[in-house]
Chains A and B, each alone.
Chain A
Amino acid sequence: MYLFWISIKKEFIQLSRDRVGLLLMFVMPVLLAVVMTALQNSVYRMVNENRINMLVCNNDTSGQTLTFVGALKNSGMFSIQVAKDKSTAETEKIAEENDALVILTIPQGYFYNLQKQVAQRSAIAMQGFGLKEQDSAVITFDSMQLQLMFNPVLQETYRYSIKASVNGVMQVMQNRMMIDQLYRSINGEEIPQDVAQKLMPDAISINESTVHAGSIPNPNSTQHNIPAWTLFAMFFSVISLGSNMVREKVSGSFLRLKIMPSSLSVLILSKQVLFLAVTLFQTVLIFSIGRWVFPLLNLPALNLPSSYLALFVVSFISGWCAISYALCVGIIAQTQEQANGFGAASIIILAALGGIFVPGFAMPELFKQVSYISPFKWALDGFYNVFLLNHSLSKIFLNILPLLALIIILQIIIYLTLKRKNLI
């Protein structure tokens, strides 16, 4: 036991004096988590909350604009700010300040114009029904249109959805105006409210459900980025641990230890224990930042899961997998350059495939399938299950199973390589 603690102490001292390693394992992932969450926050909100920031630039003085804006709000798709009688430059400035992705401009006299069009159509309808004599006068109207300006980040599908929503609201308003007008023309008085309600068709209700009951809902930016960059930090220990292993081999200290009356497995175990503790510390640090620092930066706070045991197990197994990988790279690599180069490149590729940089739900179908080869994907799904579905330990078993299998494979490779190199 004494030897084990002395070995852990030695690993700890080495790590504490490895400034670059510490920067890569702690500072870099924290910065990445903060920066990426901040950058992706508006996109995630758009995807998940379906509320798009819209600036309504209202140049119309009619009271119907209020009904129109109210109906847009009630559609549930938009978060609306209204600006009155502003120039184009002023409107764009307000839009930028409010992160508006769409600017809807209502031209001056738009609803008055619309009302006149409705009245004309109503007259045509009345003539068609034989309730009014043919009117030879041809009324022409100025062509007035609502104008939508989209932020370039908005994808085509979003633009279609927004146009469809605005059209839908306008259709309802036009229908209501038409019914009002017809009633007024026939009865010579305003339509009573209860009659109008009865005449207006009910909104068609659609029953929604998820195709795959067990699938994971989309995370928000914090729920994605915090576990994602924690995993990245864990696996990036390959730089510190991998180089540490190579240095020991190249300097001859590994060989020196081999011929001492103690087992080298103690050294390998002490490395794993210390670096596993480091990965758990990384988890606590980055998760704490997500929980308590993010709200101060106007970012969504990390909601804690109901099962802390499940969270610990996913973190522990992910960390162990990362350490096993780093150790494996360190043992196979002949030089520090090999360990650092291959280690860093492989981690970045696996992270990209596993959905660390771009989350799985936003990936093309092919890459969604390819992502299953990355341990980042298995671990990230484990965290998603814990955070988004509040799964207990028994339910995340399927996520940690491939990680456990990989750990076993890596540990066997470590053992066989040490044996082949005559180091144990």
Chain B
Amino acid sequence: MTALSLSQVSYQYPDTDLPVVKDVTLQISSGMRFGLFGPNGAGKTTLMSLMTGILTPQKGEIKINDITPADTMKYRRQFGYVPQDFAFYPELTPAENLEFFGAWLGLDDKQIKQQTHHLLSRFGLWDVRNKAVSKFSGGMKRRVNIAIGVMNNPSVLFLDEPTTGVDVQSRIAITEFLLELSLQGTTLIYTSHQLKEAEALCDYIALIDDGKIIACNTLSHLLEKDHVATLEDLFLKLTGKDYRD
């Protein structure tokens, strides 16, 4: 079953000459751990913004579980989003943050309490649930960021560099958690510059450059096809070594 589909999606920012995303077509099945990679300025973030409904494509169609962004609230209920930034309130405790975002995700009081207890315990934050997040380490903040993204048990989870700046322990914990979610049927849409971590997490890879998908298949298939040993080698082979920013 298709969890996320993009059909001939293009997007051009106002006051620019060229589109940033050009005729992108993707079919992502349920439970897939999909990695989207590309150099800086390739169009990853724009594509992610299009999929999450932050931006609206000028051309093409996007669906999550067969629902289009036109059905706004229903579409938004299908997915969770973990941005690269710490997009929460540092003055609040993790429990207060989860309560607030849980309500925004449409959960009721009982569901919020259950999920807060479950997620804070799962991420090792239960003991510090009443401490302001501003006093947390980078790894703890990353875990809070992810916990907010999965509060509503989404069927599709978008992750934008979810492990940036964390220590090995936090990274392993986050990766294990994401694999666990995938086993439960959650589709992961993951983007990062940490290609080694991506190899461990993703089972399907797409490389984007200059707004176009230049490779898209299982990791093993891509490595075999291009006769390279690692995702990083593949990345460099397809996108080159020149600076992009």
Contacts and interface: CB of A to CB of B under 8 A. Distances in A.
Contact of A260 (B55, B89, B101): B101
Nearest to B75: A261
Contact of A261 (B52, B86, B100, B105): B105
A217 interface: no
Contact of B104 (A13, A18, A257): A257
Nearest to B106: A261
A82 B98 CA distance: 74
B83 interface: yes
Contacts of A256: 81, 83, 87-88, 101, 148
B91 A14 contact: yes
A255 interface: yes
A10 interface: yes
Contact of B91 (A13, A252, A255, A260): A13
B77 interface: yes
Interface string A1-40: 0110011011001100110000000000000000000000
Contacts, number: 74
Contacts of B103: 2-3, 6-7, 262
Contact of B105 (A7, A18, A260): A260
Interface residues of B, number: 31
B87 A260 contact: no
A261 B77 contact: yes
Nearest to B100: A10
Contacts of A260: 76, 101, 104-106
A270 B122 CA distance: 32
B52 A259 contact: yes
A209 interface: no
Given A6-B99, A7-B100, A252 B92 contact: no
Nearest to A257: B104
Interface residues of A, number: 22
B54 interface: yes
Contacts of B161: none
Contacts of B54: 255, 258-259, 422
Contacts of A262: 103-106
B174 to A, nearest CB: 18
B92 A255 contact: no
B185 interface: no
B106 to A, nearest CB: 5
B109 A10 contact: no
B140 to A, nearest CB: 16
15 contacts: A2-B103, A3-B103, A3-B104, A13-B91, A14-B91, A251-B90, A252-B83, A253-B87, A256-B83, A256-B88, A259-B54, A260-B106, A261-B74, A261-B105, A262-B106
Given A7-B100, A253-B88, A253-B89, 4 more contacts: A3-B103, A255-B87, A256-B83, A258-B54
Interface of A: 2-3, 6-7, 9-10, 13-14, 17-18, 251-253, 255-262, 422
Interface of B: 52-55, 72-74, 76-77, 81, 83, 85-92, 96, 99-101, 103-106, 108-109, 132, 148
- Those 10 A-B pairs whose CB atoms lie nearest each other, nearest first: A252-B87, A252-B85, A6-B103, A261-B76, A256-B87, A260-B104, A253-B87, A261-B73, A10-B100, A17-B91
